[in-house]
Amino acid sequence: MAILSERALIRLIRERSAASAPGLIQGIGDDCAVFGSPEAGQWLITTDTLVDHVHFDRYWHPPELLGRKSIAVNLSDIAAMGGRPRFVLLSLCLPPSLASDWLQCWLSGVSAILAEYGCVLIGGDTVRGRELVISVTVIGEATCNHILYRTGARPGDIVYVSGPLGSAAAGLALFQRAKKEGTSWEQWPQWQALLDAHLNPAPRIELGQQLGLSGCVTSMQDISDGLATDLAHICHESGTGSVLYAERLPSLPSLDSAALFLAQEKLDLLLKGGEDYQLLFTVPPDREKELEMQLLSTPYHQIYPVGIIVEGQGVLLEKNNGTPCDITFQGYEH
């Protein structure tokens, strides 16, 4: 039997999807699809599916935090377009062995994060199956003319990220190590922030909206598959290339010691680590000052310039002013 690769399948599905239809503003190919009209309002929609043992591990993931994360990864897609999340649909495939207590705690986490972000649960489906599969759809509201796509980056634009990278990947590796060795992660209080980054990521909803409204940002997406892969998406969709500066990539102070302990290159964690759910965006050089001024008056003003958009294609990495090397699509694999 010929097996279809995920990439081949996505290509097949994209071929069958419509680029244009009445009321369709953006189809497949960005963090969210966009529908509606400038007059009547524009809606964002995104869906993500999490599978037990593939996307999460109940061995270390407390159900409340997994409930939060199940929603957060979708909220991050809304943030990546500059939108405001509004409505959520939940489809659950539940194995008979799943304990009622676990499910109730998971639902508590879902409820808590929905309340925090002003979202409401409006529908869904519950079915039986052999393994736990969690499918979440989030609908967001967009302010017309302030939606940010992956397509708008231009040569000369500065590449920014909204926060430290590699944290979630290091946290995941620490949990995997503890599970393998049968030890407890409570022995690592110095790496709690990394563990938390994996367990309970915070979608950057407010910053995303602020960036959308700023008028200073040319393209945006969230970092779910790692900086190298996600920046490659922006470059591909914008028809540009990019250069990242290794020394500029922000990280938590504890990442150095964790990388050493894990015997992983810190730079690999920064470039390839997935699931940080920070925002990645581009700003023309003549709008940098304006954006920084706008953000100074907000509680989420810290942003980090990490590279530049150039002519060409792909993602290059420059280390110590050396010759840049190609790191396009060197991202995270579940």
Q: What is the C-alpha separation between 17 and 291, in angstroms, rounded? A: 36
| Distance separating alpha carbons of residues 136 and 88, to the nearest angstrom | 7
> Considering only residues 48, 157, 230, 276, which one is a binding residue for its own copies as defined by CB under 8 A?
48
Among 57, 61, 111, 304, binds its own copies (CB under 8 A): 111
- Region 69-88 residues binding its own copies, contact defined as CB under 8 A: 86-87
CA distance 206 to 253: 25
Tell me whether residue 92 or residue 168 sits nearer to its own copies (CB atom): 92
* Sole window of 132-140, 180-188, 262-270, 287-295 interacting with its own copies (rule: CB under 8 A): 132-140
Question: DSSP readout, 212-255?
Answer: HHHS--SEEEE-SS-HHHHHHHHHHHHT-EEEEEGGG----TTH
Residues 88-107 that bind its own copies (CB under 8 A): 89-94, 96-101, 103-104, 107
Q: Which is nearer to its own copies, 128 or 248 (CB)?
A: 128
Q: Counting Cβ atoms within 10 Å, is residue 258 exposed (0-12), middle (13-18) or buried (19+)? A: buried
Burial of 155 (0-12, 13-18, 19+ CB in 10 A): middle
* Spatial distance between the Cα atoms of 235 and 322, rounded to a whole number of angstroms: 22
Residue 46 engages its own copies in binding (rule: CB under 8 A): yes
Which positions from 1 through 40 interact with its own copies, judged by CB under 8 A?
1-4, 6, 8-10, 12-13, 16-18, 21, 23-24, 26-28, 32-33, 35-37, 39-40
Give the three-class secondary structure for 277.
Answer: coil
Query: Does residue 41 bind its own copies (CB under 8 A)?
Result: yes
Q: Closer CB to its own copies, residue 55 or residue 287?
A: 55
Contact (CB, 8 A) for 159 and 245: no
Q: How far is the CB of 230 from its own copies (least distance, A)?
A: 16
61 binds its own copies, rule: CB under 8 A: no
Residues 216-275 close enough to bind its own copies by CB under 8 A: none
Hey, is 283 helix, strand or coil?
strand
Minimum distance from residue 198 beta carbon to its own copies (Å): 18
Dihedral sign (CA 67, 72, 75, 77): negative
145 binds its own copies (CB under 8 A): no
- The answer to whether 43 contacts its own copies (rule: CB under 8 A) is yes
Least distance CB 1 / its own copies (angstroms): 4
Among 59, 116, 130, 144, indicate the residue that binds its own copies (CB under 8 A): 130
Of residues 64, 75, 122, 173, which one binds its own copies by CB under 8 A?
A: 122
Select 7 or 320, whichever has its Cβ closest to its own copies. Answer: 7
d(CA 44, CA 39): 15
Q: Which of 59, 116, 128, 298 binds its own copies (CB under 8 A)?
A: 128
Selected from 135, 210, 224, 282, the binder of its own copies by CB under 8 A is 135
Rounded distance between C-alpha atoms, residue 315 and residue 309, angstroms: 9
Q: How far apart are the first and last CA of the chain?
A: 24
Residue 144 makes contact with its own copies by CB under 8 A:
no
- The residue behind tokens 């869906």 is 47
User: Considering beta carbons, is residue 135 or 214 the nearer one to its own copies?
Assistant: 135
Q: Are strands 241-245 and 314-318 parallel, antiparallel or unpaired?
A: parallel
